């Protein structure tokens, strides 16, 4: 019974972003294509991260994963803060939905949006450079775990924030820097030792690196280490989110 009603809320969340798909899906795909065209044009032929792998081929998986993470976060955080600001959150609070149902619906919809945008980025950018799937199971694992973690983190941001400016600050000062410093545009092995150490403290690095493993069969660190870090990070964030939902943090006041 913990998840009773989650399906209805999940459907509502899917329809919420799908009805404005030009803004929520097409726009992020266009942004990723622009990144690829600019960085790929400037650095192709000048940078070789892995032997035999061109820079554009290296860049595409990073852009796909970055799009998955950012849009999964944006979906749950924007939905919750929008409901709080407009006042329609009260219609959810009067229902007998458990905190488990809230979590499953919001995070599930965030995963769907993140994967939809990521797939769109892949379909559009794969024409720019040759790619093959060396170990595709890692793609599925890291994309799903990464989207789930960011959907959970988006709920935390949405619960904490009281206005749109605060969610924007959360994304601009925490999510954006962590994704850009996760190795999307470069290999951490190209950094000085100090910055390599700092990068290894960033859980987003393990998401991107593990996801790339699925394409090239090589990565900066072991995919099992990446899986352990990402899995533990997701478990911690999910536990915090469930606790905040259970106590009604900033929902009933």
Answer whether residue 195 is part of any domain. Answer: yes
pLDDT tens, position by position, 32-75:
999 998 888 777 766 667 777 788 889 999 999 999 999 999 99
pLDDT tens, position by position, 152-206:
999 999 999 999 999 999 999 999 889 888 888 888 887 888 888 888 899 999 9
Give residue for tokens 């009604």: 248
pLDDT at 66: 95
pLDDT at 46: 65
pLDDT tens, position by position, 81-106:
999 999 889 888 888 899 999 999 99
Averaged pLDDT for residues 134-160: 96
Answer whether residue 86 is part of any domain. Answer: yes
Answer whether residue 155 is part of any domain. Answer: yes
Closest by CA to 1, choosing from 92, 94, 91, 97, is 97
The two tokens of residue 184 are 């999307």
129 close to 57: Cβ distance less than 8 angstroms: yes
Answer whether residue 1 is part of any domain. Answer: no
Residues 6 or more apart whose CB falls under 8 angstroms from that of 77 comprise: 154, 155, 157, 158, 161, 167, 170, 171
Answer whether residue 253 is part of any domain. Answer: no
183 close to 62: Cβ distance less than 8 angstroms: yes
Q: Can you give the residue range of the structural domain that contains 162?
A: 6-247
Answer whether residue 252 is part of any domain. Answer: no
pLDDT at 54: 83
pLDDT tens, position by position, 207-239:
999 999 999 998 889 999 999 999 999 999 999
Residue ranges of alpha helices (H) inside 54-135 are: 55-86, 90-93, 99-125
Q: How far apart are CA 133 and CA 120, in angstroms?
A: 17
Answer whether residue 134 is part of any domain. Answer: yes
Q: How far apart are CA 20 and CA 155, in angstroms?
A: 20
HSE (side-chain half, CA atoms, 13 Å) at 136: 3
pLDDT at 3: 78
Answer whether residue 127 is part of any domain. Answer: yes
pLDDT at 68: 97
Q: How far apart are CA 104 and CA 124, in angstroms?
A: 30
Prediction pTM value: 0.93
pLDDT tens, position by position, 7-39:
999 999 999 999 999 999 999 999 999 999 888
121 close to 28: Cβ distance less than 8 angstroms: yes
92 close to 137: Cβ distance less than 8 angstroms: no
Number of domains forming the structure of the chain: 1
């Amino acid at each position: 019974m913990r998840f009773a009603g989650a399906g209805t809320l999940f459907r509502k969340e899917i329809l919420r972003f799908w009805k404005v798909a030009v803004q929520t899906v097409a726009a992020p795909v266009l942004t990723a294509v622009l990144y690829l065209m600019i960085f790929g044009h400037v650095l192709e032929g000048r940078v070789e991260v892995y032997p035999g792998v061109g820079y554009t081929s290296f860049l595409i998986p990073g852009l796909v994963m970055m799009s998955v993470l950012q849009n999964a976060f944006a979906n749950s955080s924007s939905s919750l803060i929008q409901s709080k600001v407009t006042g329609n959150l009260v219609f959810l609070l009067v229902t007998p939905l458990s905190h488990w149902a809230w979590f499953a619906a919001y995070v599930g919809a965030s995963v769907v949006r993140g994967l939809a945008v990521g797939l769109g980025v892949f379909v559009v950018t794969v024409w720019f450079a040759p790619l093959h799937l060396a170990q595709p199971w890692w793609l599925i694992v890291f994309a799903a775990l990464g989207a789930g973690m960011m959907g959970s983190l988006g709920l935390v941001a949405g619960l904490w924030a009281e206005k749109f400016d605060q969610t924007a600050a959360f994304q601009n000062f925490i999510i954006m820097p962590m994704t850009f410093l996760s190795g999307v545009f470069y290999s951490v092995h190209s950094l000085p030792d100090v910055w390599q150490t700092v990068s290894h403290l960033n859980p987003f690095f393990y998401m991107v690196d593990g996801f790339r493993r699925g394409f090239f069969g090589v990565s900066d660190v072991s995919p099992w280490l990446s899986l352990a870090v990402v899995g533990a990070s997701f478990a911690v964030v999910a536990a915090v989110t469930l606790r905040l939902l259970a106590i009604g943090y900033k929902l009933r006041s």
